[in-house]
Amino acid sequence: MRDNYEMRTEAPKVFKKPHTKTKPATTPVEKYLAARGFSRETWERRKVSESNGAIAMPYYENGELVLMKFRPSHKVEKGEKKSWCDEGGKPVFWGMDECDPSLSLVIVEGEMDALALDEAGVENVVSVPFGVSNLECVELCWDWLNQFNCVVIWSDNDEPGRKLQRDLINRLGEWRCLVVKNERKDANEVLLFDGKEAVKKAVAYAVEVPVAGVVKLADVEEVDYSNIIKIRSNLRGIDKALGGFMVGMVTVWTGNNGSGKSTLLGQLMVEAIEQGFSVGAYSGELKASLFRQWIDLQAAGFKHLESYYDDIREKEVYRVKKELVRYIRDWYRYKFFLLDSIGYATEDSLFGVFEYLARKYGCKVFMIDNLMTTIFSDNEKDYLRKQSDFVGRAIKFAQKFDVHVHLVAHPRKIEGRPSKIDISGTGDITNRADNVISVYRLNEEEKASEGYDTLVEILKDRIGGAQDSKIKLDFDPNGKRFALSKAGTTFSKDYSWVNLMPKQGREITPAMFGEEVTGIEF
C-alpha cells in the first residue's frame, strides 16, 4: 500500500526585475578586467557591462534578466563594498543558461573565478551569486541542478571557501561531487600566476569526495567547537546547562503525557526561526491545523491574543488576533516546514523528506514527535532493534547535514519524574543520543508548594557533561509559552514578525509574500 504523506511547501517567492541602466564597458572597466587576466571576448560572452563606473554582471535564467550585480572596477579598499546588486533580484547561478546538462558542471565562488575558467577554456562554469553567505540559489535552481550527474566545486582556499564546499556537497550529494585542490587562493590567482593550462589541469584533476572509510587520526580536520552553530532555547537555564543545541547532534526528550514536552519543542522551533534558521517538523500526534494553531499562539505571545467565550467549556479561551495571523504566517512561511502525515510515517519516508528539506531549504533544526509513531513491528525483539536503528539514523542524519534533531521518546508509565532508564524501549535510545532531557509537569499540590509549573531536567549532556541540572519553568496556557519565571520577558516577548506589520505610509500586500500554500506528495 502506498504511504499517504503530504509535505507542506510554498509557492515561489516574488522577485523584482533589475532596474539599473547599464552601458558598454569603458576604458577603466576594460583595464581592470584585463589586469585580472581576462580578454574582451571572455567577458563580453557573459554580457559584462558597466554602470556608473562599476562592473555590471547580469544574471540570466531561461533568457530573462533576473539579477544585476555590481563590483568596483578597481582594487577594493578596506571598508569599501566588494559588491552589491539591485534589490529584490532572483539569486540564481551566474552563467547557468550557457551550461550543457550532459557535461560536468563546475561551480566557483565568484564571478572573477568564473571568468578565469572561461579564459582558460573550461566549459560549463557557474558562480554562486553571494559566496558562502547565501545559498538560496540551490533552492531556487534545484530542478536545474539535478540535471547534472557530476559537479566540480572550486571554492576559495580559506575557511569560508571550505564551508561553502561542505555546504554544497551536503546539499547536492557527495556521490556526484568532485573538489578542486590547489594551494592558490582561488581560480583567478591560478590564472594570473600559473597560466591557463594550470587552471584546466586543476579542474581535470579534481578529486572525489570520500563517502566513507578509515582516515589517519592525525589528519582529521581540527574543529573549533566555539565556532560550531548552536541554536539557543532562550530559556537561560537550558542554554547555560547545554551551551545551546549544537548542530550535528540529537537530543532525546521524554516526559509523561501532558508534561508539555511537545509544546516546549514548538517554542524551540519558533526561537530557531527568530535566530534565522529554517526548521522541519513531524508530528504524528497532532493534525496539521492544530499544530499550526499552537505555533501561531507561541509566535504571538499573550500581548497579541484576544479572548472569546466558549459556551461548551463555559469559560474564556484565547486565540491570535485575527488581523495579526497573516503577519505571523508570512514570517515563518519560508522557514517552517511540516511533514503532514495521515497516520504514521515510516522511517524511510520521514528521513527522505528531512533530507530534502536539509538539501533544498537548508533547514538546520528538526523535530520528530514522536519515536513511537515511526516504528512498526509485531516482534518485540525486532521492535527494540528498530528503535535503536532509528536513533542511529537520526544521528547520522544530524552529522551529515550539520543539523540538530529533537526526538520525543515516551517513558514507561511511572509515578513522578522520569529518568533515563524509564524511557520506553531499549537503552540504546539514551546511550546513543547526545543529550537527554526530561520534562515534568507538577500537579496542583506540587505547584502550590514549589511555586512553579514545570521542571526540565538535563539527564545527559555528551559534550559538556552536565547532568541532573534542573530548570524551573512557568507556563502560560493561553499563549502556550514557557518562561523561567512569570516576572521574566518570555511570555511577553515580541518576535520579529511584528516588523511585517504596516507602518505609516507603507502598505503590506499579499504579493509581497507569494501565493497560497501548495502541497507536494512524498
Q: pLDDT per residue over 238-296, tens digit each?
A: 999 999 999 999 999 988 888 889 999 999 999 999 999 999 999 887 888 989 999 99
Q: pLDDT per residue over 291-334, tens digit each?
A: 999 999 999 988 899 988 888 888 888 899 999 999 999 999 99
The pLDDT-based confidence of 76 (bands split at 50, 70, 90) is: confident
Higher pLDDT, 341 or 173: 173
Higher pLDDT, 239 or 422: 239
Question: What is the C-alpha to C-alpha distance for residues 270 and 16, in angstroms, rounded to an integer?
Answer: 29
Task: Supply the pLDDT for residue 223.
Answer: 73
Average pLDDT over residues 75-91: 91
Q: Does the pLDDT of residue 351 top 60, yes or no?
A: yes
Specify which residues 518 forms β-bridges with: 9
Q: Give which of 430, 393, 389, 410 is closest to 285, Cα–Cα.
A: 410
Torsion angle (degrees, nearest 10) of CA 508, 513, 519, 521: -160
Average pLDDT over residues 174-203: 96
Higher pLDDT, 343 or 329: 329
Q: pLDDT per residue over 360-369, tens digit each?
A: 999 999 999 8
Average pLDDT over residues 445-460: 91
DSSP helix/strand/coil, 77: coil
Which helix (H) or strand (E) segment holds residue 194: the answer is helix 187-194
Q: pLDDT per residue over 372-419, tens digit each?
A: 777 654 555 566 677 788 889 999 999 999 999 999 987 766 565 656
Question: What is the C-alpha to C-alpha distance for residues 441 and 437, in angstroms, rounded to an integer?
Answer: 13
Q: pLDDT per residue over 92-136, tens digit each?
A: 999 999 999 999 999 999 999 999 999 999 999 999 999 887 899
Question: What is the C-alpha to C-alpha distance for residues 210 and 387, in angstroms, rounded to an integer?
Answer: 29
Q: Does the pLDDT of residue 337 top 90, yes or no?
A: yes
Task: Supply the pLDDT for residue 511.
Answer: 43
Task: Supply the pLDDT for residue 352.
Answer: 93
Higher pLDDT, 386 or 149: 149
The pLDDT-based confidence of 340 (bands split at 50, 70, 90) is: confident
Instruction: Tell me the three cell numbers of residue 176.
Output: 556526484
Average pLDDT over residues 47-63: 96
Task: Supply the pLDDT for residue 87.
Answer: 92
Cell numbers 524511557: residue: 423
Higher pLDDT, 39 or 309: 39
Sign of the alpha-carbon torsion through 336, 337, 340, 341: negative
The pLDDT-based confidence of 15 (bands split at 50, 70, 90) is: very high
The upper half-sphere exposure of residue 322, i.e. CA atoms within 13 Å in the direction of its Cβ, equals 2
Q: What percent of the chain has pLDDT over 90?
A: 63
DSSP-derived secondary structure letter, 124: S
Task: Supply the pLDDT for residue 384.
Answer: 67
The pLDDT-based confidence of 171 (bands split at 50, 70, 90) is: very high
Higher pLDDT, 200 or 13: 200
Per-residue b or e along 247-275, where b marks 16 or more CB atoms closer than 10 Å to that residue's CB: bbbbbbbbbbeebbbbbbbbbbbbbbbbe
Task: Supply the pLDDT for residue 514.
Answer: 38
Question: What is the C-alpha to C-alpha distance for residues 110 and 126, in angstroms, rounded to an integer?
Answer: 9
Domains and CATH numbers, the chain: 5-208 (3.40.1360.10), 235-437 (3.40.50.300)
**pTM of the full structure:** 0.77
Cell numbers 546538462: residue: 101
Question: What is the C-alpha to C-alpha distance for residues 418 and 410, in angstroms, rounded to an integer?
Answer: 9
Q: CB under 8 Å to 337, separation ≥6 — which residues? A: 7, 8, 9, 278, 279, 280, 281, 357, 361, 363
Cell numbers 540551490: residue: 138
Strand order in the sheet with 481-483: 481-483, 469-476, 454-461, 435-441, 249-254, 404-408, 365-369, 279-283, 336-341, 5-9, 518-521
Task: Report CA-CA distances (Å) from 386 to 230, 260, 269.
Answer: 29, 26, 27
Q: Give which of 27, 25, 24, 17 is closest to 66, Cα–Cα.
A: 17
Q: What is the mean pLDDT of the chain?
A: 87
Specify which residues 141 forms β-bridges with: none
Average pLDDT over residues 210-217: 67
